[in-house]
Amino acid sequence: KAEEALARGAKRARARSGKAIVLDPKTGEILAMANYPSFDPNKVRKLNTGDWKNRVVQDQYTPGSVFKLVTYGSALEEKLISPLSTIDCGNGTITVAGHTFNDSHAIGNVSYKEAFAQSSNGGAIKVSKKVGKRNFYEYARKFGFGSKTGIGLPAEAGGVIRDPSRWNRDSLASMSIGYEISVTALQSAAAFATIANDGIKIQPHIIKEIRKSDGEVIRKAKPQTERVVSQETAQDLRAMLRQVVLDGTAKRTKLNGFTSAGKTGTAWKYDPKLKKVNSNLYVSSFIGFAPADNPKV
């Protein structure tokens, strides 16, 4: 089902490739993992280069606004903001160290919850300033970015997040909205699962147990766990992610029969021909969970 849904979505978006992952946030069990385009293993000689990749664990990409989970999560955990207090997101532009960042539209003075729902870049950048470089970096690492998950699949990538000592003057602003870093889809899904699981990160895994032919269990999965943020922070973030679906950038992700929550992300790609970012080339993503209050997937 995941493969069929992914193929439909990728074709509809005229995407070059796509990836989808479904996991249980309470156990870390991988329920589905899909790639597009796929291939027929009976026709190996007709494979296109790269079609056999497991993009979910191998592809490293710029996440864009889904990374605002770290920006707001760190600020909430440090009690620097609260969802209903207000922030001035300005006229839709903000300049840091000579670099101007833009929003799709100006939203002015709103609550942090609304700034998050509307995916304001200016709002996220102001939040990251409160958090600071070192704190922001440490929370990104705690959420699992910059290192492999240890899922046990071949060629897993670890993503890249540089140490603050190597940042430029506008790096914190860029990272707060999901640029100047690279992640895998699995890392991102695991980070959102952490919030779905009341702030406890569970190592994702694909093998539940190993049995002998007679049914005797000789090994059970013992995934590593770590508290990343408090239960209160996780609950606040879940409410904010719910708002994204109800009234923000992810209204199209509402489900029939289930509540849902999540975050959209769009990251423009660098075009080597133009030697700058090309708004016609981008990575588009959504990460979420359902049901919103007691997430199962």
Q: Active-site positions? A: 65
Task: Classify strands 209-211 and 217-220 as parallel, antiparallel or unpaired.
Answer: antiparallel
Signed CA dihedral, 205, 8, 188, 291: sign only: negative
Measured between its terminal Cα atoms, the distance across the chain in Å is 14
Cα–Cα distance for residue pair 266/63, rounded to 1 Å: 7
**Residue type at 39 in one-letter notation:** F
Cα–Cα distance for residue pair 196/109, rounded to 1 Å: 29
Q: Output b/e per residue, 245-284; b: 16+ Cβ within 10 A.
A: beebbbeebeeeeebbbbbbbbbbeeeeeeeeeeeeeebe
Task: Classify strands 18-23 and 30-36 as parallel, antiparallel or unpaired.
Answer: antiparallel
Inter-residue long-range contacts of 132-136, CB under 8 Å, 24+ positions, other chains counted: 132/172, 133/164, 133/167, 133/171, 133/172, 134/164, 135/74, 135/78, 136/70, 136/71, 136/74, 136/172, 136/175, 136/176
Question: How many other C-beta atoms are found inside a 10 Å radius of the C-beta of residue 295?
Answer: 23
Instruction: Indicate the angle between helix axes 133-142 and 121-131, nearest 10 degrees.
Output: 100
- The gap from C-alpha 136 to its chain's centroid, in whole angstroms, comes to 16
